Amino acid sequence: MTDNNIFKGKKAAYFTLGCKLNFAETSTFAEMLEKRGVVAAAKGEQADLCLINTCSVTEVADHKCRQQIHKMVRNNPGAFVVVTGCYAQLEPERIAAIEGVDLVLGSNEKADLMQYLSDAWTEKSGADCGEGRGTIISENLHRHHSVKTKEIKSFAPSCSRGNRTRYFLKVQDGCNYYCTYCTIPYARGNSRNPSVESLVAQAREVAERGGKEIVLTGVNIGDFGQTTGETFLELVKALDKVEGIERYRISSIEPNLLTDELIEYCAGSRAFMPHFHIPLQSGSDEVLRLMHRRYDTALFRRKIELVKLLMPDAFIGVDVMVGCRGETPECFEECYEFIKSLDVQQLHVFPYSERPGTAALKIHYVVEDKEKKERSHRLLELSDLKTEAFYKGFIGREMHVLMEKAPKGRAMHGFTDNYVRVEIPAGIAKDEYDNEILKVRLSGFNSDKTALMAELLP
């Protein structure tokens, strides 16, 4: 049992690297600690507890995680330091050996973070767990708990707002796909999910707290149902009925799991927005085959065409990985031309990074870093052209925007249902617009071309 009083009055500092899922999980940990009396340390203030939620998507991510751990240890002398997340699962011993680290928790242990933390905290603090700083008396524990990938079974529920207007509801974790370049299945384990019923209950709670928009997050969301035998479409239909939630977005869904039925349902749904994020990774069939992706370019094109047929205003974001092993110049040109021909609105471009233990390392053809940079650059330019052209099509249109909090005296931003970013000038922005859906008429681009300016309509 957790002794809820041991954390009372303590100050905590949090740091998250990686995906939306990690951010949502960190916010949930922060909420749990808050309920036990922990307050977030202000900027520059020393913390009693440091929690770092790591990522291991690239070599750079691993390096950043280590840097951040060292930095937090340095800036918070004597603090209890706990590290979790994907990098913690993959390299627990290396992280536990870092001077100043007390506790490392792998993916399976994350669900019981509070229990592990309270046990280790009590141990480190000795019998005296009184109030205030200075109760920590022993050396760093350097303890780690993590099971093998196959044994990762737990699901750490998470639904949090963080400091944004939108809520992030974790509906699924893990992945069974084992794409050749990816370490996520090793770090997060097999695909698993809670029941539709429990997720609907979480969405109802969000509505009770006044939340209007929920982003469904997960690692491979479309694979929902491996634990409960339910389907992602069933989840979507059930969530659509939750009163008070006016907008849902699906953070990312594999193209082969974005079924025609799901697209058709979203097109006629009450609250699922015309906004999709679909990982393509490559527009070359040869590269898709080397990556062990479960679709080809023909399937991808069909999905985009169906979305646009049923939701012509839909915003579609696409992930692309450049410079992976096997991507010859010819393959890249094929990829570029394929993407250019697609009616998609934004590209999220990631340069390939070699990951230890992945099957991609057996492919001989290697792309130089300089070439990866050039390919990324070309795709990012293409992305800008596509986004700009899409935004231009909405100038003069009346749309609804969910406004987001902004510091006093600054312009406010928000998104339309189809994910066009909108700006309201500081002169007419008001605090009470935060989390409100406003009717606006869109005009030209803002000064840095990241949003369309809007005029409020009655």
Nearest C-alpha neighbor of 33 from the set 17, 13, 63: 13
CA 46 to CA 63: how far, in whole Å? Answer: 24
Rule CB under 6 A: is residue 55 a binding residue for ligand SF4? no
Least separation in angstroms between CB 292 and ligand SF4: 8
DSSP 255-266: GGGS-HHHHHHH
Of these, 17, 171, 219, 314, which contacts ligand SF4 (CB under 6 A)? 219
CA 72 to CA 317: how far, in whole Å? Answer: 34
Decide whether 116 or 276 has the Cβ nearer to ligand SF4: 276
CA 436 to CA 425: how far, in whole Å? Answer: 16
Question: In degrees rounded to 5, what are phi and psi of residue 454?
Answer: -135, 150
Of these, 27, 76, 220, 282, which contacts ligand SF4 (CB under 6 A)? 220
Least separation in angstroms between CB 354 and ligand SF4: 15
Rule CB under 6 A: is residue 177 a binding residue for ligand SF4? yes
Least separation in angstroms between CB 183 and ligand SF4: 8
Nearest C-alpha neighbor of 282 from the set 354, 330, 334, 329: 334
Rule CB under 6 A: is residue 184 a binding residue for ligand SF4? yes
Of the candidate spans 64-72, 170-178, 204-212, 231-239, the one that interacts with ligand SF4 by CB under 6 A turns out to be 170-178
Decide whether 120 or 335 has the Cβ nearer to ligand SF4: 335
Segment holding 205, helix H or strand E: helix 196-208
Determine the size of the site formed for ligand SF4 (CB under 6 A): 10
Residue 178: how many CB atoms within 10 A of its CB?
Answer: 13
8 A C-beta contact, residue 227 and residue 193 = yes
Least separation in angstroms between CB 455 and ligand SF4: 41
Least separation in angstroms between CB 353 and ligand SF4: 13
Rule CB under 6 A: is residue 250 a binding residue for ligand SF4? no
Rule CB under 6 A: is residue 172 a binding residue for ligand SF4? no
Least separation in angstroms between CB 107 and ligand SF4: 13
Structure-token pair, residue 290: 């080397």
Of these, 152, 179, 203, 266, which contacts ligand SF4 (CB under 6 A)? 179
Of these, 175, 203, 288, 442, which contacts ligand SF4 (CB under 6 A)? 175
Rule CB under 6 A: is residue 185 a binding residue for ligand SF4? yes
**DSSP for residue 218:** -
CA 142 to CA 99: how far, in whole Å? Answer: 8
* Residues forming beta bridges with residue 321, ordered by sequence position: 350
Query: By the criterion CB under 6 A, which residues form the site for ligand SF4?
Result: 175, 177-179, 182, 184-185, 219-220, 254
